[in-house]
Structure 1
Amino acid sequence: MESRDASTLSDRHVTAADIARLAGVTRAAVSNWRRRHDDFPSPAGGTSSSPLFSLEKVRAWLESQNKGTEESAEVRLWHTLRGDYSTHMLRGLADVADHLWRGERGGLGDTAVGLVDALAEESSPGALTRALTTRFLNAGERSGTASGSTARLVRALASLTRPDARSVFDPACGTGSLLFSVGAPGARRTGQDTDPDAVRLVRARSVLELGTEADVRVGDALRADRWPGHRAELVVCDPPAATTDWGREELLMDPRWELALPPKAEGELAWLQHAYAHTAPGGQTAVVLSTSCAYRRTGRRIRADLVRRGLLTDVFALPAGLAAAHSQPVHLWLLRRPLDEGDTARTVRMWDLSGADPDGGWELPAEPDAEVALIDLLDDDVDLTPARHAAPDPGEVPAAFASTRGELVALAAELVKALPELAAGAPGAGFAAQVKVAELADAGLVDLDGELPRSASGQVDTDFLNGFLASAANTRRSTSASGTFRTDARAARIPKLEVAEQRRYGAAFRAVTDFERRARELSALASQAAELAREGLTSGVLRPEGTEDSGGE
């Protein structure tokens, strides 16, 4: 295996964050070096916003500038894994954990095995897997892997959920950090994830870090629930990024929809009901959701039923910086499955912790910001946003308005950057040769079983495919003479392009989708800013610029 280690040495790439850790400085210092030193190594890959540098060249430059520090064994192991596994770091972590647990080295090279053994002997196998997993999550290297909850979010849920649960279930457990951190010590821990490497890692980590093997299974939790009939006292879920392709058409009659069949746009509420379906009587469900899930019109029916049945007990507005996939605030909804018909909630407690320090403790105040009667929530909107129900302290409105306005300005700037720059082209240029999606499906290149078509081979890019399915031409083909729209993917046509060109279009379509998501977030934040502005102006704690302060005379 040494030949593999030697051959990959010159190919290993590091991020700016890695360079900062390597040199013992901040990322800002690395950015300054890049600007001030013409001889700083040029990027060897990555993107303009997230460049990658040659580790060999970076080390040589640090040494020439007397800026280098001695690498720790853990850092050397990390860079060795990066070289051996490149974009498949989760597989590398799973191989490390399996080696420490079962003695199986998998794809580990001799150098990596030596470092792993030395570090495990120096501390412990469990401490090593925990440290590597934390580094993985902080590095943001999750391309093509399961989602992972941030350390901040894990700490929040560990503090805000019931600590005495003797059984815990996480249907989207990722690297297992959330599953391991909640419930009682010694609780039975079960879970599911789509990524086999994530499942391997969680199983090994549970033995090495907790002393008992968690029962975690591979599969898409919504489309292929591997735990039918299973219930736990505490179910926690930090769902994957929201998507309309969550399997609705395949699951129309699924018994998990106790409240209602989730609309196509409400994948988050599908995860909420899936988690609740696995909650034991008297048990608690804790699900992390986007802030817009509290007020979107498409989810109103499910929210109303949730409130009407007395299943929702608490809604927490959490600060920005907790989510793995974005920098926006999130909500935590707590549900409780009643023991009988009389054991239901009569009110919903609203906690506005959006101003809390994400790195601080999570000690709750003695009272919630509001305790709202169910009937008061069942209006036309069924808006479950805590800030809407908490009576604002007039003295806090100016600071809240300034903070919200700042977030709005920052998000507006992000929105402009999110819209991709697209070059001018000629109508239909390069699209003369087209193929029916039906032909691709018949050839086994495309899978049409889900809500949205998916590539079933390396010859078709999924984002390219779905981007062109939404074209005006295909939309017209799917609209009847009466004006009724009905998706007919098989009849749709897409251009015949090389895979590399497909991927370029796919990246552009993904950017447009991200732009739409950010635009929706901007709209929600704008409404919040407007509400604060009106509250401040009418209460007197805010006044227009240039207005003289009368001092109350």
Structure 2
Amino acid sequence: MNSDELTAAEIARIADVGRAAVSNWRKRHADFPQPVGGPANSPTFDREEVEQWLMANGRAPGTASAAASGDVLGRLVRSLAPEGHEILDPAIGDDLPPQPLGSAQAVACIAPTVAPPADAPVGEFGQPGRHDAALAWVQVCLAYTAKGGTAVVAVPFSAAVRATGRRIRAELLRAGALREVVGLPELPGGPWQIWVLTRPAGRPVYQVRLVDLTDLTPAELPRSAVDWDSIHGDGARTRTMQSIELLDGEVLLVPSGYVVGMAEDVRPQLEAARAAYAGLVGGLAAEAPDTINVTDTPSWPLVSIVELARTGELTVTRGAAEPGDVLVRALSGEFAPSVATESTGDTHGATILRCRPDVLDPYFLAGFLRSEINRRQASGTSGGTFRLDVKRARVPRMPPSEQRRYGDAFRELIAFAAAADAVARAARDVTRTAVQGLTNGTFAPPSQGK
């Protein structure tokens, strides 16, 4: 098969969905790319056309929505899954898994936005409505879960509040199957929750742990079992309720409506947060990079990424990244390149520019790719939607010594941006702690006139 062509399985892997989702896209979207090769039962599609379609429909790897679902949500469901067991994801593969129903001790899934196949094990807790695909996938996951096993499912926020899903939510509570609901911050791809479910091995425990993480940033979300232990022990974020308390008229599963910070004396935390903020603010000025004004604009000749690849100065590839690789993703219609500092696994469809270090400095390359000229040069429209082609971008032709000088400047800018992000996180920590103290009685507002 041509490397510029993709099978349906490869499209599913790139978009972080199941094969069933790709099949449904082909049936339901008239503008989905037509096959360019392969047999009728396993056609192939043009890579560029597919990437353009994924981008236009908010499903492309590297778009903000895909990053949220592919990176943040994937990490969260894996970190909550029980350790020591092979994890089953029913939404991955050509069809539903061949594994017997009720046999998996650990199931983890990001609920696709399209319904599971018609023969999927759905209905034990009620038939979902046409817009409740996530609740169908929750039931699929539970169908594969063994007694005493755990299923961790990322669901859109709508699954917790939409009226058409009220009966299914109620039945999950009545069965003792729903054990935890985690409210997440607003992600670029939309609001999501994590549900932790079980198939009781004995008498059900009719309790639900509600966790409110809506005030965190995606970078601050838990990454390991140790992180979750800390979250679960924090009374300001976690509350355990009897299932029956949630069985009101609407059966709304919104942790922020139930989790209320305890009247904890947060003065030590606020003092520490303010000290950390002050230290970071003081260091931010030192991180601000210096530049030198020039009287004449340099007239370096420009060379395209295509030409650099042709002459062997870089290689355009995908997949796993190596230290020094330049990763290019399309975020909100613009280039957002970064330099990898360590080896990584799959980069979720990012274009990788692997520089020959003796002739091309990666920070120089990444910096000039961010230019406004390159954003315009490398972007265009396809059917009125944004598309990205990094090969169109051009950078100045400079000797390696001059590249390194520019690369060092771009590296300083990256460090400055990281320092500014740290200050912003510290400011949010100060604000959150102060709000908690004001709302739980630890603090009072200053007197008027002061």
Structure-2-length-normalised TM-score: 0.42
**Which structure shows the higher helix fraction?**
1
Q: Identify which of structures 1 and 2 has the higher relative contact order when contacts are C-alpha pairs closer than 8 Å and 6+ apart.
A: 2
